[in-house]
C-alpha cells in the first residue's frame, strides 16, 4: 500500500510538471481569472493525491486533473454569485477582444497555443518588466517561488510580491487572454522571449534540487519557441533564441556522468552531443544574424555555435568568442555578461587577465549571490597557484550553490586545493 501511494505521488508530480502550464492556461481561458485557475488547479492536485493511491492513476491523468479543476471552479462560482457575475462580464469582454481564428486554419493547427496566449498575457506592457517573467515561471512553468527567485537573483519575498502585484494588475486592468494583433506583436515580443529563455535556463541549469538539468523545462521552452517562430517567421530574434536553445540543449547528454555528476564543457565527450540538433541550430544562426543589426539572442547563439563546431575543446576560437561578448555587452550590458566575457578572456589571454576582470566586478550587487562568480574566481586563483584565496572562494561558492551535482563538483575542487596547500 505504501509503495502504491508513493507511485501515485510520483505520478502526480510527473503530471504536474508536464501538464501544469496546459492545465492553468485552459482554466484561465475558460474562467478568465488567474487566481481562480491557480487555486482550483492546486485543489485538483490535492484531490489526485487523495484518490489516485486508492483508485489507481487514471489512463489520462492530465484530463482527470482538468475535469476535476473545472468542477471545483464551477462549485466555487455557484457559491459566490457576485464573483461569478464579475467573471462573466470579464469573459464577455475577453471574447469581444479576442480575434476570430483565420479562415484557413485547419483542425490540426496548433497556433496559437493556449499556453502561448497566456505567455503574451503575462508579458503585457502594462506589467512591470521584472514581474513578467516571474509570473510565467511561477504560474505556467510550475516553478516554486524560491526557484524563480534564484533565476532572477533576488530574494524569494521580492518575487512573491512581484507575482501578487502582477496578477492584481491583470485583474484590475482587465488584460485580455489572447495573442496580440500583428501591430502589437513587436512591442510585446521581447518580454515573451525573455520568459521563454528564463524557462529554458532553469531547465538547462536548474537553480536547486538533486539534478543538474530539468530536461522537461528545457524541452518545453524549445517547443514553445518553435511555435512562436512559426507564428513570427520573420522575427530574427525568435530565430536566434531557438538557435541558442538548440545549440545549448544539444550538449545535454554529455553534461552529466553516469551518476548525475557535473561534467565541464572541456571534459565532455563530444560524440554524445546531438549532432542533428547542432546542425539545425547552426542553420538557424545563419538566418538570425544577416539582414540588419544583430540582436542579443542571435549573438548568444553565435557564441554557442563557436563552442559546438570544433571537434575538441582545444580548437575553440576564443578570440572570436571574446569579440562576440564585446558586441553582447553593447546590446545588453549586465554583470552576468561581463562575468562570461571575463571567463572567455581567461581562456584567450590567461587566468591573470581573466581574474583582473572578475575582481573589477566584485562590487556588483547582482553577483554577490551568484555562485558562478565565486566559482570562476576560485578556478582562476587555483590556476594561478593562489591556493589559500582559491579555497576561500570555493567555500563562498559552496554557500551559494543550488544543485547537488554542482555542490559535489565544488567540494571535489575544494578538496583538491586543500590537499596541496
Say if CB 9 and CB 38 are below 8 A apart: no
Spell out the residues 6+ positions from residue 211 whose beta carbon is closer than 8 angstroms to its own.
Answer: 260, 403, 404, 405
Q: How confident is the model over 334-361, as a mean pLDDT?
A: 98
Which structural domain, as residue segments, surrounds residue 132? 115-232
Query: Do 89 and 122 lie in a common domain?
Result: no
| Spatial distance between the Cα atoms of 64 and 44, rounded to a whole number of angstroms | 9
Whether the predicted pLDDT of 110 surpasses 50: no
Q: Considering the domain boundaries, does residue 362 fall inside one?
A: no
All 3 cell numbers of residue 185? 506583436
> Helices 34-55 & 61-79, crossing angle to 10 degrees?
130
Q: What is the pLDDT of residue 84?
A: 63
Is residue 247 domain-shared with residue 208, that is, in the same domain?
A: no
Q: Specify whether 123 is located in the same domain as 213.
A: yes
pLDDT value at residue 420: 81
Question: Average pLDDT in the 196-200 region?
Answer: 89
Is residue 175 domain-shared with residue 225, that is, in the same domain?
A: yes
In the chain, how many domains are there?
Answer: 3
pLDDT at 87: 59
Say if CB 391 and CB 421 are below 8 A apart. Answer: yes
State whether 38 and 69 are in the same domain: yes
Both 144 and 241 in one domain: the answer is no
How far apart CA 28 and CA 283 sit, in angstroms, is: 37
The cell for 112 is 496559437
In a domain, 195, yes or no: yes
Q: What separation in angstroms does the CA of 243 have from each of 194, 225, 275, 322, 401?
A: 15, 10, 13, 19, 28
Same-domain pairing of 34 and 55: yes
Q: For residue 216, tell me if it sits in a domain.
A: yes
Buried b (16+ CB within 10 A) or exposed e, 234-272: ebbbbbbbbbbbbbbbbbbebbbeeeeebbeeeebeeee
Neighbours of 219 (CB within 10 A): 15
Q: Does the residue 145 lie in any domain?
A: yes
pLDDT tens readout for residues 140-195: 777 778 888 877 768 899 999 999 999 889 888 888 877 777 777 777 888 889 88
Domain shared by 88 and 40, yes or no: yes
Same-domain check for residues 40 and 143? no
Residue 369 lies inside a defined structural domain of this protein: no
Is the domain of 79 the same as that of 133?
no
pLDDT (tens digit, 9 = 90+) per residue, 389-416? Answer: 999 999 999 999 989 999 999 999 999 9
154 and 228 in a single domain? The answer is yes
Beta bridge partners of 403: 209
On average, the pLDDT of the chain sits at 86
Percent of the residues in the chain that have a pLDDT greater than 70, as a whole number: 88
Q: Of 237, 240, 201, 234, whose CA–CA distance to 220 is shortest?
A: 201
d(CA 40, CA 53) in angstroms, rounded, equals 20
Per-residue pLDDT tens over the stretch 226-249: 988 987 888 999 999 999 999 999
pTM over 0.85: no
Judge whether 340 lies within some domain: no
SS3 content of the chain, % helix, strand, coil (to 5): 75, 0, 25
Say if 16 falls within a structural domain: yes
Q: Distance between CA atoms of 307 and 305, rounded to whole angstroms? A: 5
Closest alpha carbon to 17 in 217, 197, 172, 205? 217
Confidence class of residue 100 from pLDDT cuts 50, 70 and 90?
very low
The lowest-confidence range among 137-151, 294-308, 354-368 is: 137-151
State the helix-helix crossing angle for 114-122 and 156-173, rounded to 10 degrees.
Answer: 100
325 occurs within a structural domain: no
- For residue 113, what is the DSSP state? -
> Is there a single domain that holds both residue 221 and residue 245?
no
The three three-digit cell numbers of residue 221, written as one number = 521552452
| pLDDT of 107 strictly over 90 | no
pLDDT score for 111: 36
Instruction: Please work out, in degrees rounded to the nearest 5, the angle formed at the alpha carbon of residue 402 by the alpha carbons of 118 and 197.
Output: 30
Amino acid at each position: 500500500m505504501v509503495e502504491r501511494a508513493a507511485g501515485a505521488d510520483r505520478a502526480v508530480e510527473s503530471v504536474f510538471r508536464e501538464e501544469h502550464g496546459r492545465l492553468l492556461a485552459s482554466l484561465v481561458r475558460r474562467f478568465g481569472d488567474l487566481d481562480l485557475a491557480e487555486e482550483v488547479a492546486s485543489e485538483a492536485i490535492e484531490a489526485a493525491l487523495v484518490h489516485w493511491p486508492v483508485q489507481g492513476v487514471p489512463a489520462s491523468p492530465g484530463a482527470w486533473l482538468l475535469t476535476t479543476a473545472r468542477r471545483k471552479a464551477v462549485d466555487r462560482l455557484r457559491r459566490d454569485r457576485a464573483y461569478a457575475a464579475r467573471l462573466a462580464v470579464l469573459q464577455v469582454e475577453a471574447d469581444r477582444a479576442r480575434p476570430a481564428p483565420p479562415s484557413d486554419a485547419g483542425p490540426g493547427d496548433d497556433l496559437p497555443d493556449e499556453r502561448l496566449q497566456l505567455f503574451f498575457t503575462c508579458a503585457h506592457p502594462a506589467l512591470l518588466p521584472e514581474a513578467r517573467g516571474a509570473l510565467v515561471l511561477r504560474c505556467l512553468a510550475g516553478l516554486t517561488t524560491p526557484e524563480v527567485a534564484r533565476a532572477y537573483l533576488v530574494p524569494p519575498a521580492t518575487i512573491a510580491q512581484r507575482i501578487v502585484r502582477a496578477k492584481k494588475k491583470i485583474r484590475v486592468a482587465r488584460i485580455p487572454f489572447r495573442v496580440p494583433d500583428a501591430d502589437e506583436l513587436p512591442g510585446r515580443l521581447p518580454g515573451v522571449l525573455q520568459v521563454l529563455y528564463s524557462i529554458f535556463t532553469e531547465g538547462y541549469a536548474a537553480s536547486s534540487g538533486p539534478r543538474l538539468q530539468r530536461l522537461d523545462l528545457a524541452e518545453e521552452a524549445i517547443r514553445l519557441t518553435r511555435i512562436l517562430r512559426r507564428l513570427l517567421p520573420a522575427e530574427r530574434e525568435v530565430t536566434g533564441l531557438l538557435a541558442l536553445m538548440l545549440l545549448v540543449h544539444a550538449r545535454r547528454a554529455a553534461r552529466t556522468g553516469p551518476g548525475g555528476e557535473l561534467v565541464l564543457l572541456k571534459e565532455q565527450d563530444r560524440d554524445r552531443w546531438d549532432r542533428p540538433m547542432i546542425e539545425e541550430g547552426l542553420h538557424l544562426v545563419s538566418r538570425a544574424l544577416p539582414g540588419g543589426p544583430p540582436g542579443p539572442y542571435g549573438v548568444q547563439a553565435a557564441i554557442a555555435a563557436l563552442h559546438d563546431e570544433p571537434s575538441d575543446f582545444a580548437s575553440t576560437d576564443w578570440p572570436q568568442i571574446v569579440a562576440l561578448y564585446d558586441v553582447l555587452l553593447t546590446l545588453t550590458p549586465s554583470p552576468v555578461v561581463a562575468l562570461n566575457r571575463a571567463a572567455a578572456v581567461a581562456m584567450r589571454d590567461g587566468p591573470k587577465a581573466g581574474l583582473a576582470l572578475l575582481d573589477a566586478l566584485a562590487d556588483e550587487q547582482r553577483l554577490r549571490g551568484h555562485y558562478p562568480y565565486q566559482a570562476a574566481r576560485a578556478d582562476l586563483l587555483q590556476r594561478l597557484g593562489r591556493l589559500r584565496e582559491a579555497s576561500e572562494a570555493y567555500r563562498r561558492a559552496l554557500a551559494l550553490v543550488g544543485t547537488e551535482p554542482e555542490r559535489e563538483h565544488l567540494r571535489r575542487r575544494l578538496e583538491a586545493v586543500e590537499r596541496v596547500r
